[in-house]
Amino acid sequence: MGFDTVAALAAAQASSGQFWNSFVYKSTLPAVAAAGVWADGSIGAGIPIYNAYLGAALEFTPLTGSANRSIYTGPTISDSKYVAMAQIGTSAAGAPLVAMFADFLGFYPLVDTDDTAPQTMDNTQSLTRYSSGEGVQAFCVVQVPQSASATATVTLSYTNSAGVSGRTSTFGLFGASTIGNLCNIANTSNVASALTPFIPLESGDKGIRSIESMSVSTGIGGFINIVLCKPIFTLQLLEQNTVAEKVFFKESGTLPAVQPGAFLQFLTLRGSATTPIPFRASLDFTWS
Amino acid sequence: MGFSSMDDLVNEITNNGKFIRNDWNKITGAAAYTAGRWFEMSSLAGTPVANAFSGTALAWQSTDEASGFGLYHGGDVSPDTKHVLNVSAVTAVATGVPAQLMLVDLQGYWPGISNNTTLAQTLTGTPTLRYTNGAGCRLFWAQRTTAGATAQNIAVSYSNTVPTSGRTLPVTVAMTASAIVPHISHSGTAANNYGPFLPLASGDTGVSTVASVTFSAANTGTGALCLARPLLTLPITTAAVAAERDLLNQLPSLPEVKDGACLVWLYFAGAATAANTNFYGAVEFGWG
């Protein structure tokens, strides 16, 4: 349940103990080779622990949060929690930086970006949260390094949130040699400046329920994971050695919801090329 | 009680004198702190005086404003309620940032718990808490003598707010080998570290008492299990620049300070913190 009134929200935190302060500390987020490159915050040492994306090739592997596998949201409850406040910061030269927090729902591992033959995904398992796929996006994260800056065009077939299969997404890959970098480009311009967090969807679609197949026009080496996620909220950090902070009720009039079992992680967009950087975040969760 | 309007707040703290400001300072001592870990600051030298965690081993020791090592906040005000209006902190040491401070109301602690046994150590005494049935109260372990090099996990049997006894931590929680004083030694960047507070069982919103503590392996060292209610957090981003927070305009607003509250700081090291790093600041309270 959510909150009917501001008083209920205040009481949850002030008198009912229905809150949890959670802290993220990553000593090394993945390096990025250029400005505008997104990176997967789940890959990196620290708390939450390194996410190795273990799974069988091309099989959809659901992700469920437990303990320190993802951002710990406090005692388990059967209903959603809400993010009351979030804060991010880095002491390294990684700013400006955008951090997009998302519920990583699952992934297709070991998709070969050096193989031009169509690769058919195994959807024996399906989404366990946001099961219709509405609002669910996909990104491609490097699992085995590719040829840096090599480009290819991807044709991906997916089922949208209305359950219509055979939908097509055509986008570019921009090869990255660093594990944890995102390599999808929203269009087929094949330039680094067009890197985006998520692959484009076919006109009118609201999300992805599953992916059926993928093929690349040219082999660029390496392997990727295709991750399905539900974006939750975004913060922008403008300067090194400052914090970006958001009190959601006050500043946006809403509280981002986090479903039970969420595998809460984050993506970052760096404003400049950086070596691996430390990153910290603080999230206050509340529930009714 | 509390403040019915901005006019009422201004009237209470100006015309009625229901306001106090208290400055504090702490210095970390001879040991350097590791990044990504939490430390309790009440035992550090400075003002207020250091908390020696006195008491009989394994026996509950209540703490309050009169204990002396908590920030003085002007005594009891009931039937008025007291609130934190503004808070600030600064360090002159470059390695003292980035950092996060958390102000907690320390309800008390069980001192003299040994790390050096795998037997369940039965804790005695019945906590008298300032929060009904411990709503919102959290547990943390303050290392009191340096731990040995043996890895160990901590298990706790506690009562929740119902109160239901026999509640246990929902995950494996690792202590830090060779943890120094005053490390909250289950916090850090190891896979099973949690900080600053021990995670609670599913559905729990607080802790009312603890029956026992058990370690998975014997290690040298002793510590105190502390029960505290978090009140606010304050990020410090830049050396020699004051971190300030106006708690009238941020959520959760105006954290209440109960009569008798024992206010102490917890410290999160966002970077390796050099020995003898100083922190100082002020807290402003108003009541009505």
* Cβ–Cβ below 8 Å for A91 and B206: no
Confidence (pLDDT) at A31: 93
The shortest C-alpha distance from A279 to chain B (Å) reads 9
By the CB < 8 Å criterion, does A120 face chain B?
no
Task: Note the pLDDT of residue B252.
Answer: 60
The predicted pLDDT at position A193 comes to 65
A65/B contact by beta carbon, under 8 A: no
Select from B36, B200, B256 the Cβ nearest to the Cβ of A46.
B36
| Minimal C-alpha gap between B49 and chain A (Å) | 27
Binary contact (A72, B194; C-beta < 8 A) = yes
Residues 205 through 264 of chain A touching chain B, CB cutoff 8 Å: 241-243, 245, 247, 249-250
**Domain extents for chain B?**
21-287
Determine, for residues B205 and A91 on separate chains, whether the beta-carbon distance falls below 8 Å.
no
Residue-range domain boundaries for chain A: 23-286
Q: Which residue of B has its CA nearest to A243?
A: B237
Cβ–Cβ gap B235/A89 under 8 Å: yes
Binary contact (A76, B203; C-beta < 8 A): yes
Comparing CA positions, the residue from A154, A164, A226 lying closest to residue A185 is: A154
**Which chain A residues are within 8 Å of B271, Cβ to Cβ?**
91, 278
Q: What is the ipTM of this complex?
A: 0.87
Query: Which of A118-122, A235-239, B141-145 has the weakest average pLDDT?
Result: A235-239
Q: Residue A172 half-sphere exposure, CB side, CA atoms within 13 Å?
A: 18
Q: Could you give the CA distance from residue A202 to residue B65 in angstroms, rounded to a whole number?
A: 63
Task: Share the mean pLDDT of chain A.
Answer: 93
Are the Cβ atoms of A27 and B137 closer than 8 angstroms? Answer: no
What pLDDT does residue A192 have? Answer: 67
Question: How far apart (Å, rounded) are the C-alpha atoms in residues B46 and B267?
Answer: 15
Question: Are A75 and B200 in contact (CB < 8 Å)?
Answer: yes
CA A67 to chain B, closest CA, distance in angstroms equals 6
- pLDDT confidence of residue A79: 92
The predicted pLDDT at position A285 comes to 97
Nearest to B135 among A15, A27, A45 (CB): A15
pLDDT tier for residue A273 given thresholds of 50, 70 and 90? confident
CB of A16 less than 8 A from some CB of B: yes
Three-state SS string over chain A comes to CCCCCHHHHHHHHHCCCCEEEEEEEEEEECCECCCCCEEECCCCCEECCCCCCCCCCCECEECCCCHHHCCCCCCCCCCCEEEEEEEEECCCCCCCEEEEEEEEEEEEEEEECCCCCCEECECCCCCCCCCCCECCEEEEEEEECCCCCCEEEEEEEEEECCCCCCEEEEEEEECCCCCCEECEECCCCCCHHHECCCCCCCCCCCEEEEEEEEEECCCCCCEEEEEEEEEEEEEEECCCCCEEEEEHHHHHCCCCEECCCCCEEEEEEECCCECCEEEEEEEEEECC
CA distance A173 to A178: 14
Give the mean pLDDT per block of 10 residues along chain B (288 residues): 89 95 95 96 97 98 97 96 96 92 98 98 97 97 98 98 97 97 97 97 97 98 98 92 88 87 97 95 97
Angstroms from A13 CA to nearest CA on chain B = 7
Are the Cβ atoms of B189 and A18 closer than 8 angstroms? Answer: no
Å between A184 CA and nearest CA of chain B? 30
The verdict on a CB contact (< 8 Å) between A243 and B189 is no
Residue B57 to chain A, least CA–CA distance (Å)? 29
Q: Chain B contacts of A241, Cβ < 8 Å?
A: 97-98, 237-238
A17: nearest CB among B161, B250, B256: B161
pLDDT at A30 over 70: yes
The minimal CB distance from B135 to the residues A16, A27, A247 is found for: A16
